[in-house]
Amino acid sequence: MNVLVVRMPQRPASWRADVVTQDQAVQEARQYVESRMANPSDVWGWSWGFVKLDKLTGGIQWEGTSELTVLGARPSIGKSSFMLSVVLSVARQYAREYPGLEVRVILLEMTPMQVQLRAASALSGVNVIKMRRGQLTFEEKRRVDAAFAHLASLPIKWLKGKHDVSTISKYVRTPSEQSGRSCGFWALDHIGIVPTPDAMRTGNTTFSLGNLSGQLHSLAREVAPGLVLAQLNRQSTQRKDPTPTASDLYGADKILQDCDNLLLLHRPEKYIERAPDEVPERELAYVLVAKQREGFDGVKIPVLYINSFGGWADLSEEEAELMGV
Q: What is the dihedral of CA 176, 178, 179, 184, to 10 degrees?
A: -20
> Is the N-terminal amide bond of 150 cis, ω within 30° of 0?
no
Residue type, 291: K
Provide the pLDDT for residue 144.
95
Q: Can you give the pLDDT at residue 40?
A: 80
Residue range 45-322 in CATH 3.40.50.300: yes
- What is the DSSP code (8-state) at residue 213? H
Q: Is 262 helix (H, G, I), strand (E, B) or coil?
A: strand
Region of poorest pLDDT, from 29-43, 49-63, 205-219: 205-219
Residue-wise pLDDT tens digits, 290-311: 988 777 778 899 999 998 888 8
How would residue 204 be classed by pLDDT, with cut points 50, 70 and 90? low
pLDDT at 278: 75
| pTM score | 0.85
Q: CB-based contacts of 98: which residues, under 8 Å, 6+ apart?
A: 184
> Across residues 183-197, what is the average pLDDT?
85
Q: How confident is the model at residue 120 (pLDDT cuts 50, 70, 90)?
A: very high
**Is residue 107 predicted with pLDDT exceeding 90?**
yes
Q: Is residue 130's pLDDT more than 80? A: yes
Q: Spell out the long-range contacts of 7-15 with Cβ–Cβ below 8 A and sequence spacing 24 or more.
A: none
pLDDT of residue 8: 42
What would the mean pLDDT of 45-65 be, rounded to a whole number? 89
* Residue from 174, 123, 129 nearest 150 by CA: 123
Q: What pLDDT, on the 0 to 100 scale, is given for residue 203?
A: 53
Let me know: does 124 contact 130? Beta carbons within 8 Å.
no
Mean pLDDT, the chain, integer: 85
Q: What is the mean pLDDT of the segment spanning 312-321?
A: 84
- Which of 79-83, 105-109, 198-202 is the least confident region? 198-202
**pLDDT at residue 202 is higher than 70:** no
Measured in whole angstroms, how far is the alpha carbon of residue 252 from the centre of its chain?
Answer: 17
Tell me phi and psi for residue 70, to 5 degrees: -105, 130
With b for 16 or more beta-carbon neighbours within 10 A and e for fewer, the 121-143 pattern comes to bbbbebbbeebeeeebeeebeeb
Q: Which of 170-174, 178-182, 316-320 has the highest mean pLDDT?
A: 170-174
Cα gap 295→38, rounded to integer Å: 25
C-beta separation of 48 from 54 below 8 A: yes
